[in-house]
Amino acid sequence: MKAFYVSLKPFLNHGALKRPTLWGTVFANDHPLEVEIGFGNGEYLAALSRADPQINFVGFEQYCERIHRTLRKLSRTGLDNVRVLRLDARAGFERYLAPKTVSRVHCLYPPPWPKKSDIKHRLFTGDFLKLVNSRLVDGGVLKIVTDHHPYIDWVKENIQDTGFSVESKNIPANYGTKFEKKWVEGGQSEFYELLLTKHQHIPVEVKEDSTLQSYLIDHFNPDNFGFSDHSQEGVAVSFKEILYDPKKKTALVHVIACDGPLAQNIRIVIVHSPKGWRVNLAEGTMLMPTMAVSQALECVYLAAKNSASDKQPLG
C-alpha cells in the first residue's frame, strides 16, 4: 500500500497549539515568517521552502486530501521550514499569528465565487485585509494571484482604510500549481497579480478563546429533541441532525457553528451518567473554541432540557 506521508512532522494539530503561536519556538529559530493561504496540493509551498530554507513558512488549507498531497511533496524536499494547518485562514490569522510577525503572505487562486449571489463568500473582504495587515510587519506584502479579472477589481474596491497600497499587473502562468495548470489546459494564458504593501499599521487584536462549558440535566428525550436556527451578534448556530444509541444511552448532535464567515461543523454528545445527562463536546472534535461553539453548546443544552418536557422542541 502506498504511504500517505513519509513524515507527519509538518502537519500541526491546531487544537494543541498555543494561541497566538510562538512560531520561533515551533521552528526552533528566529527566521522570518511567511504564510500561504489555500496552498492546495502544495506545489508552491514546496517550491517556496526549497527556494529559501532561511524562511519559515506556515500554510493554511481546508481540504484534508490536499494536505495529504502537500505532505508528500514536502517530505521530498527534506527541509524542516514548513508547517501546515488544516484551518480556515480567517481563524489562522485571528488566533495563531501575533501582530506584526509575518513578512509576506501568498495566496494563489483564491476561490473567485464568480456569481454575484456568492460574492459574500470571497476571502479578501475589507475586514480580512485589515486582519492580514495587522499581522504583517511594517512594509510587509500580501500577494494575490487570480485567473478571474473581476476579483482584482473587487479587492481594489475593498482596499480603502486597510493600510495597504496596491499594484496590479497581468502575468503569464508562473506557478505550475494544479489549478493554474487546469486553466492553462483550458486555454487561459493571462493571469492577474495584486501586490498589496503595508504602509500603515491597522491594529486588530488576537481573538481570545471562549470558555466551553459542559452541562448536566436530569431528563432527556431524544425523540423530542431539536431546535431552529439561532443567530445573534454575528454568531449563528444551525442544528443538522441527532443520532441516538439507546444501548449506550448516548446521543450525537451535529451542529454548524458560525462566527461571521467562519463556519465549523461540530459534534456535541448527550450521554447518560450516574448524575444525569451530560452535554459536552464530542471527544476528538478539532475546533476553534469560539463564541459560536459556546453558543452551540448552550443551544443543545436548552433543547435537551426542553426535550424531556411535554413542550414542542425549542424554536
Ligand X SMILES: C[S@@+](CC[C@H](N)C(=O)[O-])C[C@H]1O[C@@H](n2cnc3c(N)ncnc32)[C@H](O)[C@@H]1O
Q: Are strands 191-198 and 136-146 parallel, antiparallel or unpaired?
A: antiparallel
Of 14, 19, 34, 38, which one interacts with ligand X (CB under 6 A)?
38
Assess contact for 63 and 99: CB atoms under 8 A. Answer: no
Between vectors from CA 288 to CA 267 and to CA 59, what angle results, nearest 5°? 120
Q: Which is nearer to ligand X, 124 or 301 (CB)?
A: 124
Q: Rule CB under 6 A: say whether 135 interacts with ligand X.
A: no
Say whether residue 59 binds ligand X (CB under 6 A): no
* Separation CA 278–CA 32 (nearest Å): 46
The full length of the chain comes to 315
Nearer to ligand X among residue 243 and residue 263 (C-beta): 263
| Closest approach of ligand X to the CB of residue 176, in Å | 9
State in angstroms the smallest separation of the CB of 13 from ligand X.
Answer: 16
How far apart are CB 57 and ligand X at their closest, in Å? 14
61 touches ligand X (CB under 6 A): yes
Containing 33, the helix (H) or strand (E) segment is strand 33-37
Residue 111 C-beta: closest distance to ligand X, Å: 5
Q: What are phi and psi of 267, to 5 degrees?
A: -120, 130
Give every strand in the sheet of 235-245, ordered side by side.
215-217, 276-281, 262-273, 250-259, 235-245, 230-232
Residue span binding ligand X (CB under 6 A) among the ranges 20-28, 171-179, 231-239, 278-286? 171-179
Size of the site for ligand X (CB under 6 A): 20
Stretch that binds ligand X, among 152-160, 172-180, 267-275, 299-307 (CB under 6 A): 172-180
Give dist(CA 134, CA 161) in Å, integer.
12
299, 289 Cβ separation under 8 angstroms: no
Q: Report the distance separating Cα 307 and Cα 134, nearest Å.
A: 46
Among 11, 60, 151, 301, binds ligand X (CB under 6 A): 60
The least distance separating ligand X from the CB of residue 38, rounded to whole angstroms, comes to 2
Backbone angles phi, psi at 180, to 5 degrees: -60, -45
x/- mask, ligand X, residues 81-100, rule CB under 6 A, reads: -------xxx----------
Q: Is 196 in the site for ligand X (CB under 6 A)?
A: no
Residue 123 as a binder of ligand X (CB under 6 A): the answer is yes
Q: Shortest CA distance to 304 belongs to which of 216, 240, 173?
A: 216
Does the protein bind ligand X through residue 111 (CB under 6 A)? yes
**Residue showing cell 476561490:** 111
DSSP assignment string, 190-247: -EEEEEEEE-S----PPPPPPP---EEES---GGG--B--EEETTEEEEEEEEEEETT
Under 8 Å CB-to-CB from 187, ≥6 apart: which residues? none
The residue (of 39 and 301) whose beta carbon lies closer to ligand X is 39
Find the binder of ligand X among 34, 94, 180, 259 (CB under 6 A).
Answer: 180
Strand-strand pairing, 82-86 and 164-171: unpaired
Member of 57, 109, 164, 277 binding ligand X (CB under 6 A)? 109
Q: Applying CB under 6 A, does 179 fall inside the site for ligand X? A: yes
By CB under 6 A, residue 37 contacts ligand X: yes
Tell me: does residue 297 bind ligand X (CB under 6 A). no
CB of 74 to ligand X, least distance (A): 15
Smallest distance, Å, CB 90 to ligand X?
A: 6
Binder to ligand X among 29, 62, 174, 309 (CB under 6 A)? Answer: 62
| Contacts with ligand X, residue ranges (CB under 6 A) | 37-40, 60-63, 66, 88-90, 108-109, 111, 123, 177-180
